[in-house]
Every structure is written in C-alpha cells, then in structure tokens.
Copies of this chain bind each other. A is one copy, B any other.
Amino acid sequence: MLRRVGMLIVQKYGGTSVGSIERMKAVAQRCLATQRQGHDVAVVVSAMSGETNRLLALAAQLHDDTSDREVDVIVATGEQVSVGLVALAIRAAGGKARSFLGDQVKIVTDSAHSRARIVSIDAAPLRAAFAAGEIAVIAGFQGVDDKGNITTLGRGGSDTTGVAIAAALDADVCEIYTDVDGVYTTDPNMVPTARKIDKISYEEMLELASLGAKVLQIRSVEFGMKYGVKIHVRSSFSDAPGTWVVPEEQSMEAVVVSGVTVAKDEAKIVVDDLPDTPGVAWRVFAPLADANIVVDMIVQNQAWDGTTDLTFTVPAIDKKRTLDTLRQAIPDIVGANGERMTADDEICKVSVVGVGMRSHAGVAKRMFQLLAEDNINIQLIATSEIKISVVVAKKYAELAVRVLHEGFGLSKPPGERAGLI
C-alpha cells in the first residue's frame, strides 16, 4: 500500500512514543517526513507515559470514584501537555504546527465521565490548519459534552480519538504508532514462530481482542469498522509496515485461520441437575447480571431424564461472588449450600479466529483433531461465525496454542498454508 501524493494521514502516538522530549522530537521528524511527501497530517497524542497514572493517583487521595467530572478535568491535562510539547517539537524541527484540545476540535461526547462516547467532531478547524500548511496536533482521550464539560474516553481512548478524527476527516489512513510492530498470529512471547499479520479484517481484529488489546483499543476497531477507516498498527521505532486493519476483502477468506488466542483469567461454573423447564436459564443469569458479573461462554447440554446441566465462564476474580450470588438468589436450583454447583479456575480458553471459517467446514474438526493428538481434553466448546473457542485445563494453555498455531500453519506466510485443512 504505497502512499499517493496528497493524501490525508492521521497518526496516533501512544504514551511510550511521546514519553520523553527526545521521543517527541522523533515523532516530530516522522510527522514532518510524512508532510514532506505531500500529505496533510493530523497527529493524535496520548499523555506522556506514566502521567495519567500520576494524575489519577493525585485524585485518588481525595476521591475513589474515577468516573467523576473533576477527575476528567484533572487527567485530561496529560494530553494537553503532550499536544503543546509535540507542537513545539515540530516547530523546533522547522515545521508549522498547532495544538487542538477536545473542545477546540469540538470532539463532542456524551456525558459519561471516564468512559464517554464520541458523538460528533468538527473537522473545520483541522482543515483550516492544513490549508495554512500546519500539522494539526490533537489531544487524544478527551472530549467535551454538550454543556462544555471535559470528558475522557477511557483507557486507550486515544486510539478511538485517532480513528474518529480519521473518520471525520475522511482520512486515507489512521496510523496507530505503538511500541510493537503490529498484531501477531499469537503471542510471540509464547510461540516464537508467531508471525506479524500483514492485513486483517475488523471482525477478526475484534475476535482477536486478547491479542489486539495490547496494541489497539477494541472500541477504536468498532469505530473503524462502523466508518470504514483503514487502520495501520505499526511501530514508532521503525519504518517497517505493521498490520493493516481494514474492511474484509475477498482474498482474506483464503486465510482460514488468522490467529490463535488464549485467555487464562476465566473460571468455569457448572450447575448440575437443573429442571428442564422454560425460564431456568433466565433464573440463573438474571441475578448474575444484577450483580454486574460478566458471563462469557454459556453451554447447555441436551436434557436427559428431565434434567439438564448448564456450564458457563466468568472472570476468575468473580468466581466466589458468582457462587455466593447464586446460592442466595436461587437455592431451589443450586441447592441451599450450593451443592449442585462446581467451580474451576484451573482452566483456560483457547480460540482460533478467521473470516475464512465461514466458507471452510473443516476448521472445527481439524482443531479438535490437533488437540486430541496431544491428548488435550476439551471441556467446553463455543463457536461464533469466525471463531471457535474451547476450554481446556490451564496446564495445557501454552501447549494448545503452539499445537494450533503450528497445525493451522500460522508460522508460514499466508500463501503457503494451503492444504492444511
């Protein structure tokens, strides 16, 4: 994907990339190099690394609710300092630049402090800056509600700012600069043969959340999908291309499996001997929802002898709270002492993801075969259109990932994976 002359490029730099004056000078050089190629450049920057935590710690000495109007006023200063400094760095390097805060680009959000959602953006001030030959340096993470209160978008919100600015400007690409060089087929620390993914669909990226969350806020991907913004995740330490997150293309289906993920922070809850009557599932999950416990996988087996059983997973830290909640809410179902429930947090969830699954019938079969060959017992199975997840004992986590990564040929370039399924 070579750049045409005269494109409009949004570049987003994270906290590490602007973590020092020296790093900011490097950012300035990259922005100017892009502008010199004939492009208009908007830069979205995060707070210097560590700054948001420092500000939150100050506020925490006075207040323990971080979703507060005043906490947003305080933490928003992190990005404000960054935009001023990056604008100065660009000017120090001979360029023209102007900083923009959330209320100066009119990044209007709802009023949900600390987790606000973007409603609209006024691109006019940015276009005026481009017309004046300036690089627009925009504060990430922050917005302003319709009453003029400062809001913030939540952790990693600068990614969403970047993609939203790109959408508002109808930019050719939103480049997300980070300290890794892209999204990998699996965690490279676990599987040394993991490969950088060159191109991936929004849907796959969302399913690969546990891989991608480290480099890209998931909400920014949803935003990109909604507005068709091409996202390029790449390293601020090199010029090498990273991973493009783009609308699904015909050719992507040839790549049956794009990545393998593992989540080790879930617990499995089994409820046995449930009456096989309408409304039972509702009676189980309603109290959990009321207690704000997020349920992930849910599997109910075929009824047998008038009873059935129900298995689901919750965050491991909520295991005890889940058992307590159900024992108090539905003792008639789980037993007065919860004796019809069992819980296990020595599990992990391993998933394979790929848009090609839609047209390839054999992925599940191949996955189960690969695991069986290494005697890894499957405790639970759940599928979506482009993902298959299995729960296995936690001790098999790394083995299962490696076996699937090799078995689906992810160590090889996409073109050389044919015939594996």
Given contacts A80-B77, A103-B103, contact A59 B85 (CB under 8 A): yes
Contact B91 A80 (CB under 8 A): no
Contact A63 B80 (CB under 8 A): no
Cross-interface CB contact of A21 among B58, B81, B98, B99, cutoff 8 Å? B58
CB of A353 within 8 Å of the partner chain: no
Q: Which residue of B lies closest to A73 (CB)?
A: B84
Contact B104 A88 (CB under 8 A): no
Q: Which residue of B lies closest to A55 (CB)?
A: B81
Q: Complex: how many Å from CA A80 to CA B84?
A: 15
Q: Complex: how many Å from CA A395 to CA B31?
A: 58
Contact A88 B71 (CB under 8 A): yes
Minimal beta-carbon separation of A44 from chain B (angstroms): 15
CB of A24 within 8 Å of the partner chain: yes
Contact A84 B103 (CB under 8 A): no
| Protomer copies | 2
Q: Complex: how many Å from CA A61 to CA B76?
A: 22
* A241: B residues at CB distance < 8 A: none
Given contacts A62-B24, A70-B99, A103-B103, contact A81 B88 (CB under 8 A): no
Minimal beta-carbon separation of A382 from chain B (angstroms): 43
* A97: B residues at CB distance < 8 A: 70
* A76: B residues at CB distance < 8 A: 80
Cross-interface CB contact of A59 among B59, B68, B69, B84, cutoff 8 Å? B84
Contact B73 A99 (CB under 8 A): yes
Chain A 63-98 residues near chain B, CB threshold 8 A: 63, 68-71, 73-74, 76-77, 80-81, 83-85, 87-89, 91-92, 97-98
Contact A77 B71 (CB under 8 A): no
Minimal beta-carbon separation of A17 from chain B (angstroms): 16
Q: Complex: how many Å from CA A74 to CA B101?
A: 11
Q: Which residue of B lies closest to A48 (CB)?
A: B58
Cross-interface CB contact of A62 among B71, B80, B88, B103, cutoff 8 Å? B88
Q: Complex: how many Å from CA A91 to CA B80?
A: 25
Contact B77 A81 (CB under 8 A): yes
* A55: B residues at CB distance < 8 A: 81
CB of A148 within 8 Å of the partner chain: yes
Q: Which residue of B lies closest to A64 (CB)?
A: B92
* A148: B residues at CB distance < 8 A: 103-104
Taking Cβ atoms with an 8 Å cutoff, the residues of A that contact B are: 21, 24-25, 55, 58-59, 61-63, 68-71, 73-74, 76-77, 80-81, 83-85, 87-89, 91-92, 97-99, 101, 103-104, 148, 150
Given A59-B85, A103-B148: 4 more A-B contacts, CB < 8 Å: A21-B58, A62-B92, A63-B92, A70-B99
Q: Could you list some 22 contacts between A and B, CB below 8 A?
A: A21-B58, A25-B62, A59-B84, A59-B88, A62-B92, A63-B88, A70-B87, A70-B91, A70-B97, A70-B99, A73-B83, A73-B84, A73-B99, A74-B80, A74-B85, A74-B88, A76-B80, A77-B77, A77-B81, A101-B150, A103-B103, A104-B148
